[in-house]
Structure 1
Amino acid sequence: MRYTFKPDDCMVITIPLGNLRDVGEGQLMPEKFTCVFKDAYKVFLRGRPKELGVAQFTIGVFIICVGVLLLLEDSLGHLIVTVPSALFVVGGILTCAAGSSPIMPVVKLAFIFNILSLFWSIIAIVLYGLFLEGYRRYFYDSSEEGHNVFIGLIVVTCVLCGVEFILALVLLYWGSKAVCRPHFNTLPLITIKQDA
């Protein structure tokens, strides 16, 4: 026979029973017992979404600033990589908002933007790597100071996109604890303990 309901440890109720030998009439069940409820939003807060959201926002703003410097130095080709980095800024703002208020649509929206940020960080690392390789081939003989600064800015941006990738992974892990949960067919786990 298949069980329709199963306990999922979201709510754990512990009822301590008195000792059967020392019990008077009507004293077996206690007046108070403990109930531990694992709220999905509280589990999400363990991942420190406010702090990680601020870090994500800061990295996004820094990448956009470095992208503007690259635009001024080189060409409009860097605009393709710079503008979508605004996903990091929006994702950071939404993650901070999700950490500040227990409104599930905000948590879900932050989760979606963190998925987009994860994929964009991978794409940005690949695109900046292609820019770096193309720039290196084009200016292979150049030893200008501007050339070294340009390569340094691209490397810094790649590193920041790598950090953004790690932040998005961590936020997705903790966000999935709040967003991806069963909504039905679960019962509390009830434990009855008898005193010795």
Structure 2
Amino acid sequence: MTRTSLADVACSIARATDLFGDAWTALIMRDVLAGIGRFDDLAHDLGISRKTLAARLARLVDEGVLVRERYQDHPPREHYRATEKGAELHAVLLALMNWGDRWYAGEAGPPARVRHLDCGHAATPVMACGNCGEPVTAANTTALPGPGGRTGPGTRALGPLLAARGRDDAAHPIVTTRAQAGGPGGGS
């Protein structure tokens, strides 16, 4: 079955999901960010077919999420390492892990823990506002139109909703901050 590409949808969630939305890609990134970077080790750990793994790794390299580096010349051997773009997926994976721990861990508890190396404590990821530091939740945020947003496939209902919110919010403009410079554009 051919997947529909989401790369042209005016939504940062859609564009990211287009690359990162299948389970194998998320698990490959989990392993690479945890320090498993050799092809055979990834295939063994994940139990994934070599063909599927090669395709996912090639796409991650093409997208600039991973780099392939030679670690041995005879015979030639390479491993995969996250780029800056790939390393930033760590926060996404931690958020998924936190959600999964809450809703799917079961009676035995979470299958893995995260230690914050700076303080040595077990860490629970929290999405926080880059300006005030307060937690960011669905209840205390709203989506507004961004400069790259447009109504079209994937945003036919969302685009007009965000545009209306933008008109309603005109009396209360968004405070421009350093966080906006690197923030996602588009519909979401």
TM over 0.5: no
Larger Rg: 1
Higher relative contact order (CA 8 A, sep 6+): 1
Q: Per residue, is there more strand in 1 or in 2?
A: 1
TM-score using structure 1 length: 0.22
TM-score using structure 2 length: 0.22
Q: Per residue, is there more helix in 1 or in 2?
A: 1
